[in-house]
Amino acid sequence: MKKKIYIAWCGGMLWEAFYKQFKDDYIIKCTDIDVNDDRLSYLDFRNLNEYKKDVFDFKPDYLFHLWAHTDLEYCEKNPDDTYLTNTISVENACYIANELNIPLLYICTAWIFDWKKETYDDRSHPNPLWIYAKAKHQAEIFVKENIKKYLICRAWWMMWWGEKKDKKFINKIIKQIKAWKKELFIVNDKTGTPTYTHDFAKNVKILLEKEYRWLYNMVCEGLTDRLEVTKELISLLWLGNDIKITEVSSKHFSDEYFAPRPDCERLINKKLSLRWINMMRDWRVALKEYIETYYQDLFKK
């Protein structure tokens, strides 16, 4: 008999990848505040009573609490709603998982560090500096201290679902390409580690089925930066002779992106590697698959 997974906040960045990876082997219920797909049903998981009733009615074997507010400018301007959504809703998930005695999957972020070092692994000590990061870190602490069975996976720089959903860096660049921009202004002072959502979901599934618990960094292999990612993207699209890349500092976009951003966002999958279960591919390989899968029209001449 198939086990059941309840996935809360399933309309966001990880929704498609998780659904694809788990749907054949598990019975899944997917809910979100924003019902943007016919496979979703409505739930405001910030309301403990509603959240609890919906999960209890489904009787899952696992509870996945996938994401949160990730718009950094919104978080800085709306701290109360950020804490309600990014922290308190996770506390609700913990109460429910404990009562049902089932594992909870919580997704955290690279932003919980202060970025005074060049890289951070699973054992590094967090020191969040901004509203979004503080809310996510408080949720991570609550999970660690209050739940019996949990799996925390950290990610950042997501690549996911193409134009339909992607609001992150890659799709912003592609929108400019489709608008026939001949010059791209790319920051040269932001390093990090992309995360391809399908690799992420596959690795979560491995951890789940091996019954591994606790905390794992889970990003693509290979340290990089915004500039290098953009150059690789342009190369994949055979546009190297058509588009000029102009390097700028982050100050160039300070009016639009006023929330503080660390210069370094590099995670290392130390624990996955030590357990010999690191399925996260090099970011270049993942980027190529992502572009070829979700942006096929860009290859049509």
CATH of the domain at 252: 3.90.25.10
Predicted confidence at residue 163, as pLDDT, reads 58
Q: Which positions of the chain have pLDDT values less than 50?
A: 301
- Give the domain range for residue 29: 3-158+194-217
Are 117 and 23 within one domain?
Answer: yes
Same domain? 206 vs 245:
no
- Say if residue 20 is in the same domain as residue 130: yes
Same domain (yes/no): 79, 183: no
What is the pLDDT, as a whole number, of residue 88? 96
Q: Given this model, what pLDDT does residue 301 score? A: 47
Residues 115 and 93 in one domain: yes
Residues 52 and 132 in one domain: yes
Q: How far apart are CA 131 and CA 126, in angstroms?
A: 14
Give the C-alpha separation, 266 to 156, whole Å: 9
CB 259 within 8 A of CB 75: yes
pLDDT of residue 196: 94
Is residue 270 included in any domain, yes or no? no
Q: Are residues 154 and 172 in the same domain?
A: no
In a domain, 50, yes or no: yes
What is residue 50's three-state secondary structure?
Answer: helix
Sign, CA dihedral 168-170-175-181, equals: positive
Count of structural domains, the chain: 2
Q: Residues 233, 67, 38, 196: what is their CA dihedral angle, to the nearest 10 degrees?
A: 30
